[in-house]
Amino acid sequence: MQDPVGSDNFVLSDGCTLDDLIDLEMNEVSLRVMSDPELHRIEMERVFAKTWLLLGHDSEIPEAGDYVVRSMGEDPVIVARGKNGEVHVSLNVCPHRGMRICTAETGNAMVHRCIYHGWAFRPDGSFIGAPIEKEQMHGSKRSKDELGLPKARVHLYHGLIFATWNVDGPSFEEFLGTQKFYLDMLFKRTDAGQELLGPPQRFIIAANWKTACEQSASDGFHTLTLHRSLMVGDGPMGSTPETIYDQAPGMYGVDISSTEGHSLRCMPMDKQFTSFAGMDFSQDDDALLQALPPPGLTPELALQAKHHLSPEQLHLLATNPPQVGGMFPNVLIIYIYVARPDGTMSPALALHTYQPRGPGKFEFFNFILAEKDAPEELKRDMLENAIRQTGTSGMIEQDDADTWPQIMRSSYGPKARKSTLKYQAIAGHEIPDGWPGPGLIYEGFTKDDTQWNWWLNYHRLMSTPA
């Protein structure tokens, strides 16, 4: 494989280039991208080593010395809280002989000691020393400062821990771009903020990471068929087998995207659920937020949103809240109402990350969230709903996890791998009258625009030398 220094493209061993894989004119992507091992190595360098990645939540490591072990692409990292309360992200690889330093998934330690030869490091990644100090087993050719663990750049976004190896690259705000206006409506709503409801669920799926991630870019259309049970019968959307393709209320709304590849689907509350049919949606925003608080908020907590959000954000939160979407490259956002058997609605708040484990596997993380000041009864309800809908036992993931491995397996065939993924149902960017938010806006039936924007950002990063 050719990958010359300074090249804005690459050539795989059979002569295939990025432009052969992604046809920008036809809006098509080669199925080969879902399994190619050469491409995977380049993705780790040009995508995962350059962009901001979600690693967890600061409520997982509340005390000095607390840590969790996560990954940035294929790189293992230690996410630790230092003695002064700051959060550090360091490469979990001993610079001595390459052993992983932290072998436990979580714990508390003010010294991280490698079990192989005993080299020791602080939570901030700095090197302390090796056993038998007088023998200076770390040698004399490199100073102790040089032997510290490589550190990532860290940003805490309302409790969410993000990090990047691109220490001189775009800021976190630049990474969010116009999407920050909408994401603040989900994560910046209350005075105390949010917390995780226990450690994340984790499991391995035998599929390439992109099968899940491109779908996370607000692919609403697959809900109509793959998640049909949500749409008909007792499902929360309230359609019938006869009307599902004519009415399909969950298919209409406003999709939001950005040049950074992020996306969200905003759903009009007055059309989404039959359970809300009797509500008066002509009320002002304050009354709507009290009558139907956003997922995870009580009426009392909904009042706090006025301290943190603009009137424009509050209007969308009351009438067209963002509910599902993704953050490039590997995050899914689910802030939804869930139908109870008795016809009432209950919330679920979750984030997924899809961590590559080679070209043929990824690890699924399911983070379940709640507002810190929410009543314990509500937190328990949200936890139960999120578990039933998402994660290892969730109805939604049982559907999705059936398709992703089959897509990847298709890409192994010599004929099938020449097929293309098609993103040609393009609505086009058009801001609805009175829409108060920024970004690339797509009103009406959900189409391919947001997913294609995900691939455009993937193409941009893959075109840039590591």
Scan for tokens 């397996």, then name that residue: 409
* Residue 29 domain-assigned (yes or no): no
* Residue 295 domain-assigned (yes or no): yes
Percent of the chain with pLDDT over 90: 74
- Over 70: is that where the pLDDT of 305 sits? yes
Does residue 109 sit in the same domain as residue 159? yes
Q: Using an 8 Å Cβ cutoff, are 254 and 441 in contact?
A: yes
Does residue 266 sit in the same domain as residue 398? yes
Does residue 213 sit in the same domain as residue 252? yes
pLDDT confidence of residue 156: 98
- Over 50: is that where the pLDDT of 10 sits? yes
* Residue 38 domain-assigned (yes or no): no
Task: Give the pLDDT band (50/70/90) at residue 1.
Answer: very low
**Domain containing residue 127: CATH number:** 2.102.10.10
Does residue 341 sit in the same domain as residue 392? yes
Does residue 120 sit in the same domain as residue 81? yes
What does pLDDT average to over the chain?
A: 91
Task: Give the pLDDT band (50/70/90) at residue 4.
Answer: very low
Least confident of 17-26, 132-141, 208-217, 279-288: 279-288
* Residue 42 domain-assigned (yes or no): no
Task: Give the pLDDT band (50/70/90) at residue 3.
Answer: very low
* Residue 12 domain-assigned (yes or no): no
Please say which residue of 137, 165, 193 terminates a domain: 165
Please say which residue of 114, 142, 165 terminates a domain: 165
- Over 60: is that where the pLDDT of 224 sits? yes
- Over 80: is that where the pLDDT of 229 sits? no
Distance CA 98, CA 325 (A): 37
pLDDT confidence of residue 223: 83
Task: Give the pLDDT band (50/70/90) at residue 390.
Answer: confident
What is the radius of gyration, based on Cα positions, of the chain? 23
Give 195-209 pLDDT, tens digit per residue: 999 999 999 999 999
Does residue 262 sit in the same domain as residue 313? yes
Least confident of 198-212, 232-246, 385-399: 232-246
Range of the domain at 74: 53-165
- Over 60: is that where the pLDDT of 239 sits? no
Torsion sign across C-alpha atoms 275, 277, 279, 283: positive
* Helical (H) or strand (E) element with 336: strand 331-339
Give the C-alpha distances (Å, rounded to integers) separating 156 from 52, 53, 54, 88, 160.
11, 11, 10, 11, 5
Does residue 184 sit in the same domain as residue 109? no
Does residue 343 sit in the same domain as residue 216? yes
Q: Using an 8 Å Cβ cutoff, are 412 and 32 in contact?
A: no
Torsion sign across C-alpha atoms 431, 434, 437, 442: negative
pLDDT confidence of residue 447: 95
- Over 90: is that where the pLDDT of 341 sits? no
Alpha helices in 254-373 (DSSP H): 269-272, 285-291, 299-308, 311-319
- Over 90: is that where the pLDDT of 246 sits? no
- Over 80: is that where the pLDDT of 307 sits? yes
pLDDT confidence of residue 404: 95
For the chain, how many structural domains are there in total?
Answer: 2
pLDDT confidence of residue 231: 60
Q: Given strand 66-72, what is the order of strands in its sheet?
A: 87-91, 75-81, 66-72, 106-108
Q: Pairing state of beta strands 331-339 and 201-205? A: unpaired
Prediction pTM value = 0.94
Does residue 105 sit in the same domain as residue 213? no
**Domain containing residue 364: CATH number:** 3.90.380.10
Give 75-93 pLDDT, tens digit per residue: 999 999 999 999 999 999 9
Distance CA 388, CA 391 (A): 8
Alpha helices in 111-249 (DSSP H): 172-176, 180-187, 209-216
Q: Which is higher by pLDDT, 21 or 346?
A: 21
Coil, strand or helix: which one is 55? strand
Scan for tokens 């779908």, then name that residue: 215
Does residue 135 sit in the same domain as residue 208? no
pLDDT confidence of residue 242: 55
- Over 50: is that where the pLDDT of 31 sits? yes
Distance CA 282, CA 352 (A): 35
Does residue 94 sit in the same domain as residue 189? no
pLDDT confidence of residue 2: 44
Task: Give the pLDDT band (50/70/90) at residue 396.
Answer: confident
* Residue 33 domain-assigned (yes or no): no
* Bridge partner residues of 334 (DSSP): 324, 350
Task: Give the pLDDT band (50/70/90) at residue 267.
Answer: confident
Distance CA 444, CA 408 (A): 31
Coil, strand or helix: which one is 63? coil
* Residue 76 domain-assigned (yes or no): yes
Does residue 307 sit in the same domain as residue 382? yes
pLDDT confidence of residue 221: 85
Please say which residue of 117, 146, 165 terminates a domain: 165
- Over 60: is that where the pLDDT of 240 sits? no
* Residue 39 domain-assigned (yes or no): no
Give 81-128 pLDDT, tens digit per residue: 999 999 999 999 999 999 999 999 999 999 999 999 999 999 999 999
Least confident of 267-271, 303-307, 363-367: 267-271
Scan for tokens 């805490």, then name that residue: 156
